[in-house]
Structure 1
Amino acid sequence: MANLETCLICIDMQNDFCLPTSPLCVAGAMDCLPKVREATDVARARHLHMIWVIREHEPSGVDVEYTREHLFKNGLGSTVPGTKGAELVEGLEVRKGELVLVKKRFSAFLHTHLDLVLRRLGVRRVVLCGVQTPNCIRATAVDSLGHDYETLVLSDATGSKSEAVQEANLEDMRCMGIATPTVAAWAAGM
């Protein structure tokens, strides 16, 4: 039976954020990849809605935040459509019926149609996985909470540059009312 009120949102699991050779590599990205895959398997088995959120930027960098402009000026641009860096990391794939949403900033809600899509689908519970916890995961989680969705961040299916950064951000989100279960605890609690 489908759980139509829940949506798993996988954020920024792209080569430019996951591969160690990338200038924007999140140190914990590859460590959380097996749990991200496990979360997507659970979502598919339970017939949950799934949305893949990816970053894409113009080759000129005209749409990137000012803190990353230097990457484009130095020819190191990131997540440019059609490049290997913009692709999902190996082991993850979008399947038929799963949505892809492109964002330009940390929050998947900022200047996108995510809220409209979630409401149209009847979603009440948002579950997040991916990278990076203090930036895109946290910004999306806070905006999700602000839009009145029950919000969960999968603690072992998200990654940061260090364990200390990961734990500090998870604790801050818990203090806001955002649940941070492991993938196993989330799956068992459904």
Structure 2
Amino acid sequence: MTESLDENYARAGYHARQEWGSRPALLLVDFARAYFEPDSPLYGGEGCVTARDHAARLLDTARQTGTPVIFTEVRYIKGGADGGVFFKKAPPLKVMEWGSPLGDLVEGLERRPEEIMVTKQYPSAFFGTSLAATLTSMGVDTVLLTGLTTSGCIRATCVDAMSHGFVTLVVSDAVGDRAEGPHEANLFDMSAKYADLVTTSEAVDYLQTIQREQ
């Protein structure tokens, strides 16, 4: 009998759990209105709505526990010259040009003045930005990753977070995509090689436990 994929990965030792750190930060990636407006070419449907609702709960906990909170957004100059090949490859990114309301944060995840916004032009929140330096200066050792979309900017950010030496926790019900297939496939792959998957409830418990221990 041919072994299943799960059996094959288990035999190889994939999906190993990491030791979570004591200085986490919450990263909310690209919760833009473009993913929630039905007329938008980036509309993601119920998967994105579910991610937003869970992220809002985790955001409340992060603020209550004093956990650093960092948002990201995608913005381009008109015509997308600063988006390079990515902007040309993915025409829907035109809705993220400066001045478009579709690039604004969705209602329910408003940023406070003291919280950082990282503006990016490419999938990873680390590529071409000061995010890694910012997290390092804060003493952060663990990143809780939420946002949109699972198969795009979340996966790219996850790989780069791990590559920069941060223990990465992908909050599986606080990331979303327009279809279940890409969402689940990318969660599986991130769990196998780059990050631990946690639910919002587990992430909340983690932040509250860290607060009690400090």
Same fold (TM over 0.5): yes
Where does 1:134-149 land on structure 2 (aligned, <5 Å)?
134-149=151-166
SS in 1 for 2:26: strand
User: Partner amino acid for 1:77?
Assistant: K
1:66 and 2:63 aligned: no
Whole-Å separation in 2 of the counterparts to 1:109 and 1:95: 21
Deviations 1:77-120 (A, max 9, x none): 22122321111011111113210000100001101010110011
Partner in structure 2 of residue 39 of structure 1: 58
Whole-Å separation in 2 of the counterparts to 1:98 and 1:136: 20
Unpaired runs of 5+ residues, structure 1, are: none
Aligned CA RMSD, in angstroms, stands at 2.0
Partner in structure 2 of residue 183 of structure 1: 200
Judged with a 3 Å threshold, the aligned counterparts in structure 2 of structure 1 residues 172 and 71 are, in CA distance, closer, same or farther, namely closer
SS in 2 for 1:64: helix
User: Partner amino acid for 2:163?
Assistant: G
Partner in structure 1 of residue 36 of structure 2: 18
Unpaired runs of 5+ residues, structure 2, are: 1-20, 208-214
User: Partner amino acid for 2:32?
Assistant: Q
User: Partner amino acid for 1:50?
Assistant: V
SS in 2 for 1:53: strand
Partner in structure 2 of residue 172 of structure 1: 189
User: Partner amino acid for 2:77?
Assistant: E
Deviations 1:12-43 (A, max 9, x none): 10112332211122232123211011111111
1:5 and 2:15 aligned: no
Aligned pair count reads 186
Q: Which has the higher helix share?
A: 2
Partner in structure 2 of residue 50 of structure 1: 69
Where does 1:92-111 land on structure 2 (aligned, <5 Å)?
92-111=109-128
TM-score, length-normalised on structure 2? 0.81
